Amino acid sequence: KVKEKALGMNVLTAVKPGQLMIKLVHDELEELMGGEEAPLKLESHPAVILMSGLQGSGKTTFSGKLANMLKTKKGKKPLLVACDVYRPAAIQQLHVVGEQVGVPVYSEPENKDVLCIADHAIQQAKTNGNDVVIVDTAGRLAIDEQMMNEISNLKNHLRPDETLFVVDSMTGQDAVNTAKEFNDRLDFNGVVLTKLDGDTRGGAALSIRTVVTKPIKFIGTGEKMDAIDVFHPARMADRILGMGDVVSLVERAQEQFDLEE
């Protein structure tokens, strides 16, 4: 596609052909990653967001970050729900995260029935006026049939407004394979890329978007509870190329050229 666009293009006087190519590649990357941000669709009362992903992908921390973002930036009143019934530490971790962001957490440490816990949580949300319920689930492998059935049943039971797949961006090609396997089973609405701080370029964003054709909705950019961003394809294209300055130079030259025309 880049080749098609590049051939026969007038090179702007203020720009070198190499710079124009970078801009073309950038625009194509942006398009491949969805072109624009994909907001959450939260229409039910309460709206339900179901988290899924491998163990260690950062689901629990991200659940807290998302609750914090919805509370502080969207004026929502979220409730976090602990549906990881396999690790006592996971329930404890969600309580710690909830405390950090000032969001209540619903849990039933003695109950192993996730459908039952989720139902009770939604009842509590209705009673207490919580308008968004974020359901944190156990990490699981796509090949673990029993665990995949559990989350599949939970999704069918809850009919959530959003099912998000949380993946560690550092895992590269593995992230892509896992995303595909989970999507085949869960048909999720969107992807969350965690651990996109530091030197991680974000190639996983491009690959996942291309393979599963579901939008990337959020990125986690650090440890702190406000280290969460809506995913902007244009910014990620800058990051992958590492040449945001060249792109803006070409854009300015294009604007100037259009004015002169």
Q: Which pLDDT belongs to residue 207?
A: 78
Lowest mean pLDDT among 161-165, 168-172, 182-186, 188-192: 168-172
List of domains in the chain: 2-32+244-260 (no CATH), 47-231 (3.40.50.300)
- Phi, psi values for residue 52, rounded to 5°: -140, 160
Across 25-29, average pLDDT: 76
Cis peptide before 46 (omega within 30 of 0): yes
Q: What percent of the chain has pLDDT over 70?
A: 83
Strands 216-220 and 228-230: antiparallel
Q: Tell which residue, 123, 124, 208, has the closest CA to residue 164.
A: 208
- Phi, psi values for residue 106, rounded to 5°: -105, 130
Question: Which tens digit of pLDDT belongs to each residue from 94-149?
Answer: 999 999 999 999 999 989 999 999 999 999 999 999 999 999 999 988 888 999 99
Question: Which tens digit of pLDDT belongs to each residue from 173-214?
Answer: 777 888 888 899 999 999 998 887 655 566 677 778 788 888
The alpha-carbon radius of gyration of the chain (Å, integer) is: 21
Q: Which pLDDT belongs to residue 210?
A: 80
Contact 79, 103 (CB under 8 A): yes
Q: What percent of the chain has pLDDT over 90?
A: 41
Choice between 98 and 234, residue whose per-residue pLDDT is larger? 98
Q: Is the pLDDT of residue 172 over 80?
A: no
Q: How many helices (H) and strands (E) does the chain have?
A: 10, 8
